[in-house]
Structure 1
């Protein structure tokens, strides 16, 4: 049976909640400013990465890597939670095995499920509330860069310093 979009979103919500909760609990004293679910252009099941201000401050190349999911010491975290989600994604049709229209629809469905999961967690206060939430950038990223990453960032984040800094980094302020 092919998992529905709601099933993907529910599984991602549960997995990402557990992964982020573990990340925050296991790294006391870290102020996380960036949390992202990433997927390649095939929209495979996502990976979770994050950055904290403390780990970034230790990097000589901080400006170059501050929003790089791959360069973070917290890259690809929570695998034990996300592995079953990847299996659900793999149970759906392969994006590039479909005709153009169906491929676009499948790709969009997967990204919507990812975005829905992070929006739910944001609404729960997992990334902070009020001013604290505005200091955390939460993303669903297609890597390498996808033009729709910006639209998803704007939908997932309140106006504030985290979103403004990311947009400025990409010269989109």
Structure 2
């Protein structure tokens, strides 16, 4: 998972934009993760584009999509790098047929692997390539949002400025 995420983020960061949000996200069913990210430049472009097609101003639209993995133009970025991760997870117990405690154990295993991957990349300095580390919130998220998202965010970011913004604005 670390190698897949590293390749995805390194490829994304070649654009030279100033990122403020990078996530590995999955569903409550524990599917293989995907990358999503937002940069200030992408937010301005996307908010302007979406405002033209709505009754919202550019600033209102920016506030609505700022922390949305799904609205990002970088949603599923580098998914081709996760083929081996998907194959590995498919060889594990089928989470869709597990129940109760076994389901929770398997989901926790998958989220922990995602968290460890993001932590390793952070330790390598990957998230400080185009901006200071304090300016970016790195996450592991379950969608739809789950309480575990906050727990993992606090572990991955300590007290970064970006984390504080996410906690207030993302309404997790």
1:13 corresponds to: 2
Q: CA deviation at 1:170?
A: 4.0
**Is 1:44 equivalent to 2:28 in the alignment?**
no
Give 1:153 shift.
0.4
The total of aligned residue pairs comes to 158
**8 Å CA contact 1:134, 1:158 repeated in 2:** no
* Distance in 1 separating the partners of 2:124 and 2:39: 21
Query: What is residue 159 of structure 2 aligned with on the other side?
Result: 159
**Which residue matches 1:83?**
83
Distance (Å, rounded) in 2 between the aligned partners of 1:127 and 1:170: 20
Tell me which residue corresponds to 2:102: 102
Contact 1:36 1:141 in 2 (8 A): yes
SS at match of 2:10: helix
Question: Structure 2, unaligned stretches of length 5 or more?
Answer: 48-57
Q: Provide the rounded CA distance (Å) in 2 between the counterparts of 1:170 and 1:110.
A: 23
1:3 corresponds in structure 2 to none
Deviations 1:77-126 (A, max 9, x none): 01121122111111111223123111111110000000000000001100
- Whether contact under 8 Å (2:67, 2:170) holds in the other structure is no
RMSD: 1.5
Which residue of structure 2 lines up, in the alignment, with residue 67 of structure 1? 67
Alignment of 1:119 with 2:106, yes or no, is: no
- The secondary structure found in structure 1 opposite 2:126 is coil
| 1:26-37 correspondence runs (5 A) | 27-28=15-16, 30-37=17-24
CA contact (8 A) 2:137 2:160 kept: no
Gapped regions of structure 1 (runs ≥ 5):
1-11
TM-score by length of 2: 0.87
Q: Describe the SS at the equivalent of 1:149.
A: helix
Q: Counterparts in 2 of 1:125-164, with a 5 A limit?
A: 125-128=125-128, 132-164=132-164
User: For residues 71 and 170 of structure 2, what CA distance do their matches in structure 1 show?
Assistant: 17
Q: Give me the whole-angstrom Cα distance separating, in 1, the residues matched to 2:30 and 2:112.
A: 11
Residues 54 and 170 (structure 1), Cα distance of their counterparts in 2 relative to 1, 3 Å cut: closer
